[in-house]
Amino acid sequence: MPREAEPSINERAFVLQALEENIRLDGRALDAFRDIDISFGDDYGVADVQLGKTRVLTRISASIVAPYPDRKFDGVFVIITELSPLASPAFEVGRQSDLETHLSRILETTLRRSQAISTESLCLVAGQKVWSLRADIHILSHCGNLVTAASLATLAALRQYRIPDTSIKGGELTVYTPLERDPIPLALLHHPLCITLNYFENGEKMIVDATLQEQQCSEGEVVVAANPQGEVCLVQKGGGGEVDALVLLRAVDMAVGKVRELGKLVDRALEKDSKMRDKGGISAELSAENER
């Protein structure tokens, strides 16, 4: 019977009552995030994001494959999300849950369909060899707002990832190890992020970064994906409850502001990470060994 336990009548009533008075159980403002921590692993392309008690780890990896015959000049980019009992006992091993599908669809639209990553840049030898880029999203702890946590982790990992350098001489492809040549950053065209807004009282009240409990008590949610430039990539309303059309506009407006806020956080985390990797101030251009 693996299903997330529903909150009791008392809990539901209390959460709603508190929200009516504009109080959230953890004392946050309605539009505030929980504490966010973004850290990177020793290898390139591993980002660990903690959003309060929610924790998501994304790992980027690349391999060389043959391209799809109908897309000879495009590399491959896949996003894989799997919810395991690590995140919550409610998840089963090897069975896809609705939440998983929901999550990977949203991330797919946000990152792939919005052309955040240019698949043309992943092409090595047209029609023969392309990079297949893979984002494995590991949900480690599920305490609400997985969408934002996962999109933060994936974007941070993509921006930090370095793909091995290659060269082609006489049709021969050479892939260099990090010791031979510095790996290079990915070509990202823009940096979109997802914000989830949960609404109450027919959309009159909206909260950012809901905890699992708030999520379960809400009437529905609106997911907005946008980049810090204010361009919207996705708007999705779920959960059933009916809302005024204007509410969606308000949600988009609010989300764009939040995307900028989070975008800055990612910028700062990346800056800190590159300083750490560049130990002793020796510029990475001088020696490849210093990178590792």
Partner 1 sequence: MASKTLVLPGETISPDILPTPTNPNLLLKLGPGLRHVPPSTITSTIAGPLCIDQKKNAIWVENNSGRYIPQPNDLIIATVHHSSTDFYSCSITPHTTFPQLPQLAFEGATKKTRPQLNSGSLIYARVLTASKHTDPEIVCYNPSTGKSEGMGELKGGMVFDISLGLARRVLMAKQREDGGIAVLEEIAENVAFEVAVGRNGKVWVKSGGVKETLLVGRALQEADVQGLGVEEQVKLVRKMIRQV
Partner 2 sequence: MVNVTLSPLYRADGSATFTSNGYSVIAAVNGPIEVQRRDELPEEAAIDVAIRPAAGVGGVRERHLESIIQNTLRHVILVSAHPRTLIQITLQIVASQDDSLYPGNLPQAASNVPVLPALLQASILALLSASIPLSMTLTATLISVKENGGVAPSPSAQDLEAATSIHVLAFSSHGDLLVVESEGYFTMDTWEKVYAKARLICHGEKEEDSESEDLSMDTEEVTKLEDILKDAVRQKVAAEYRWKQSPDSAAT
Q: Are the beta carbons of 269 and 46 closer than 8 angstroms?
A: no
Q: Which residue has the tokens 């959460």?
A: 15
82 binds, among partner 2, partner 1, none (CB under 5 to 8 A by kind): partner 2
Residue 280 in the binding site for partner 1 (CB under 8 A): no
**Residue 99 dihedral angles phi and psi, to the nearest 5°:** -60, -40
3-state DSSP: the chain helix, strand, coil percent, rounded to 5? 35, 30, 40
Q: Which of 65, 68, 78, 89 binds partner 1 (CB under 8 A)?
A: 89
The nearer residue to partner 1, 9 or 276, going by C-beta atoms, is 9
**Min dist. Cβ of residue 165 to partner 2 (A):** 9
Of 8-16, 52-60, 168-176, 192-200, which part binds partner 1 (CB under 8 A)? 8-16
Task: Pick the closest to residue 59 from 71, 44, 69 (CA basis).
Answer: 44
Residue 123 has, within 13 A of its CA and on its CB side, a CA count of 14
Residue 84's beta-bridge partner residues? Answer: none
| 244/196 Cα distance (integer angstroms) | 18
**Residue 279 dihedral angles phi and psi, to the nearest 5°:** -65, 140
The nearer residue to partner 2, 128 or 177, going by C-beta atoms, is 177
Q: Which residues contact 260 (CB under 8 A, 6 or more apart)?
A: 228
| 155/176 Cα distance (integer angstroms) | 25
35 binds, among partner 1, partner 2, none (CB under 5 to 8 A by kind): none
Residue 10 in the binding site for partner 1 (CB under 8 A): yes
The nearer residue to partner 1, 1 or 246, going by C-beta atoms, is 1
The nearer residue to partner 2, 62 or 224, going by C-beta atoms, is 62
The nearer residue to partner 2, 34 or 258, going by C-beta atoms, is 34
27 binds, among partner 1, partner 2, none (CB under 5 to 8 A by kind): partner 1
**Min dist. Cβ of residue 281 to partner 1 (A):** 39
Q: Are the beta carbons of 81 and 99 closer than 8 angstroms?
A: no
Distances (CA, A) of 24 to 19, 28, 31, 219, 243: 6, 6, 10, 16, 22
21 binds, among partner 2, partner 1, none (CB under 5 to 8 A by kind): partner 1
At 70 the three-state DSSP class reads coil
136 binds, among partner 2, partner 1, none (CB under 5 to 8 A by kind): partner 2
Which positions touch partner 2 (CB under 8 A)? 1, 41-43, 46, 53, 55, 57, 59, 61-64, 80, 82, 84-89, 93-94, 134, 136, 138, 140-143, 164, 175-178, 183, 292
Residue 1 in the binding site for partner 1 (CB under 8 A): yes
The nearer residue to partner 1, 131 or 200, going by C-beta atoms, is 200
